[in-house]
Structure 1
Amino acid sequence: MAEVSFGVRVPNSGPLSSVANITRAATEAEEMGFDSIFLHDHVVWSTAMHRHHISSGAHEALADDQSADFYEALTTIGYLAAKTSSVRIGVACLVMPTRNPIYAAKQLATLDHLTGGRLIAGVGLGSKASKESSEFDVFGVPFSARARMTDEYVEAMRAIWTQPLASYSGRYIEFKDAEIFPKPLQDKGPDVWVGGWTDAAARRTGRLGDGWVPGWLSPAEMGRGAAIVRETAQEYDRDPDNITIAVEKLTVIDTDHDAAMARAVPTVATSSKTYERDVDQIQFALDRHIFGSVDAVQRRVEEFVEAGVTHFELKFIYPTMDELTRQMELWASEILPKYR
């Protein structure tokens, strides 16, 4: 069986986002034996998304006087590199079309050194921050071109990471004989994980990625997507066994199943108010995420593992940091040992 690893999303956004809480979540995850910590990325955010797209924290932690704080991912990784020593640190995912790939390649190479080769560079097409506020409009990036731009930007970054005098020619980015150092500490650069839950994202992973990290997919849907990744990799003469199949999953774990569900449902329900997805029935989310008693969580993890998943990025639902600690301790004592 392939090795299975587990990571924790830290609160660089959401109702509990702060430097202190980011640091606490990261250091505790490392101490408890989790394999990775993850941040996510947007530069432009919105009050609406702050209230309805909760990737860290819980619905109950929202307050009327909160601002839509979202700590920038790459600078925060640099900070966490000095606060941790062994846990891998990733971003899932950079909104790649809004990042200059030459500068991003330099930043990521530097972060690879600062983390001691622990960096995972997730990339995605990105989505609008809200119906009213578009990150792409702010950056002057054509929304319709974001897929092509992401492909080119990943290729351009890899050229910078691997060529002494780097050159690349595409529709959206072009440069010649760019001497950019340091090269990343990891051979050929940090792993590039592709975000997105569409077939196109799975195919992009097979062509370009070292990992696939979708969100709202069921075990059956993950199995289908993993097959697309493998088939595409083989078409491009790449080894599919070298590609990580990961998932982002909201999770609540408790010794009591009903208590876990009572914690999960209010936050999951806020997704019905997010334009990104149509969650008219709570069962849609329950079929795709990981909630419940220890036994229920173990069963759901196994369903994803059987579908080909080898890494879990866990987005715990917690109204306080103490509750996050309690759930991470339970996961670390009851779930992690089964995969060690």
Structure 2
Amino acid sequence: MVHSPHGKVRIGVGLVGARSTDEFGTEFEELVDALDRSTVDSLWLADLASKSVVDPMVGSTWAAARTRRLKVGTGVTVLSGRNPMLLAAELATLTVLAPKRILPVFGIRAASPEDRQLHPVPGRLADVFEESLVVLRRLLSEDSVTHHGEFFTLDGATVLPRPPRPPDIWLGGRADVGLRRAGRLADGWLASFLTPAETARGRTVIEKAAGDAGRTIDDDHYGTNIWAALPGTDLDAALERAAQQRPDIDPREIVGIGWEGTAELIRRHVEGGLTKFVVRPSAPIPDWFAYLDRFSAELGPLESG
């Protein structure tokens, strides 16, 4: 067990790619059923429209309906280029139907260049993102929203049904401008491809930005994705993908090598102040039931609280 002064340590499962397009739906059903029988409390779906992965909003709805305890995270979903009003309506309904189980995380742009063309924005990316976030949050928490901004206009807009308490909105991001944005506007932070030293620093930057804005973020609302190269998979391919994301560092600093290396990487992030983790396997999983048994045995003991 790993103890953190910042709250409960929780480790969820991230989905990367399907084994094959032929068994796409069957595999996702297998995964959700396996999760429902396991002790893992959360599933996280990436927004990679051009890849063979489940769409995060559709997948969250499907998984939440099929289970009764599983939490589902949409991390990281691209917000810029989406209609924040319609997205608010979707999130509100989903949160009413699956209370306390929907965990939305948003990012400013798609991870891959081929996906960025699917999210056209009418102005500067950062400005569109921030206004979209403001509109989204207001619609999820206010009875009537009037908003006359640079990109969106609303007069007495209402989203129903609206949950008694809006879902916490987390943001991704690793550049300082994104970290400060999380401090100003988010309820939590989910990092990607950062070293333990960088996530520790990221938490400090976010906390300062939140304080400067006169707000606070819950102590246990800081987390990161963990890219895991597990036994039987291609380590070189995992390191190469990590290097593409972070050519400036040794990829072994951000990849968990084997179960032991993944556990050690989580421990190092916990020491820096993080408590929430999404472990994403670097290659498709041939048997989700067997994977989750091993996942629970190897990583479950790290959870606390």
Name the counterpart of 2:37. Answer: 31
Residues 128 and 336 of structure 1: CA distance in aligned 2, closer, same or farther (over 3 Å) = closer
Residues 75-107 of structure 1: CA deviation (Å, up to 9, x unaligned): 221111111111211101221112100000001
For 1:217, what is the secondary structure of its paired residue? coil
Name the counterpart of 1:337. Answer: 301
Name the counterpart of 1:83. Answer: 66
Shift of 1:264: 4.6
Residues 226-245 of structure 1: CA deviation (Å, up to 9, x unaligned): 10111111111212335611
Name the counterpart of 2:148. Answer: 169
Identical positions, percent: 22
Q: Distance in 2 between matches of 1:78 and 1:110?
A: 10
Using the size of structure 2 for normalisation, the TM-score is: 0.88
Shift of 1:325: 3.7
Q: Distance in 2 between matches of 1:333 and 1:34?
A: 11
Confirm whether residue 95 of structure 1 aligns to residue 60 of structure 2: no
Confirm whether residue 215 of structure 1 aligns to residue 196 of structure 2: no
Residues 237-256 of structure 1: CA deviation (Å, up to 9, x unaligned): 21233561110111145xxx
135, 139, 152: which one pairs with 2:131?
A: 152
For 1:120, what is the secondary structure of its paired residue? strand
Q: Distance in 1 between matches of 2:25 and 2:136?
A: 29
Residues 140 and 206 of structure 1: CA distance in aligned 2, closer, same or farther (over 3 Å) = closer
Q: Distance in 2 between matches of 1:293 and 1:169?
A: 51
Q: Which residue identity does 2:251 align to in structure 1?
A: A
Q: Distance in 1 between matches of 2:168 and 2:101?
A: 10
What RMSD, in angstroms, separates the aligned Cα atoms of the two structures? 2.4
81, 88, 104: which one pairs with 1:105?
A: 88
For 1:251, what is the secondary structure of its paired residue? strand
Name the counterpart of 1:306. Answer: 271
Shift of 1:117: 2.9
Using the size of structure 1 for normalisation, the TM-score is: 0.79
Q: Distance in 1 between matches of 2:301 and 2:111?
A: 39
Q: Distance in 2 between matches of 1:147 and 1:247?
A: 22
1:6-17 residue pairs with structure 2 within 5 A?
6-11=11-16, 13-16=17-20
165, 172, 175: which one pairs with 1:195?
A: 172
Residues 321 and 168 of structure 1: CA distance in aligned 2, closer, same or farther (over 3 Å) = farther
Residues 83 and 150 of structure 1: CA distance in aligned 2, closer, same or farther (over 3 Å) = same
Structure with the larger RCO, 1 or 2 (CA within 8 Å, 6+ apart): 2
Shift of 1:270: 4.4
Q: Distance in 1 between matches of 2:34 and 2:213?
A: 40
Shift of 1:272: 6.9
Q: Distance in 2 between matches of 1:181 and 1:29?
A: 31
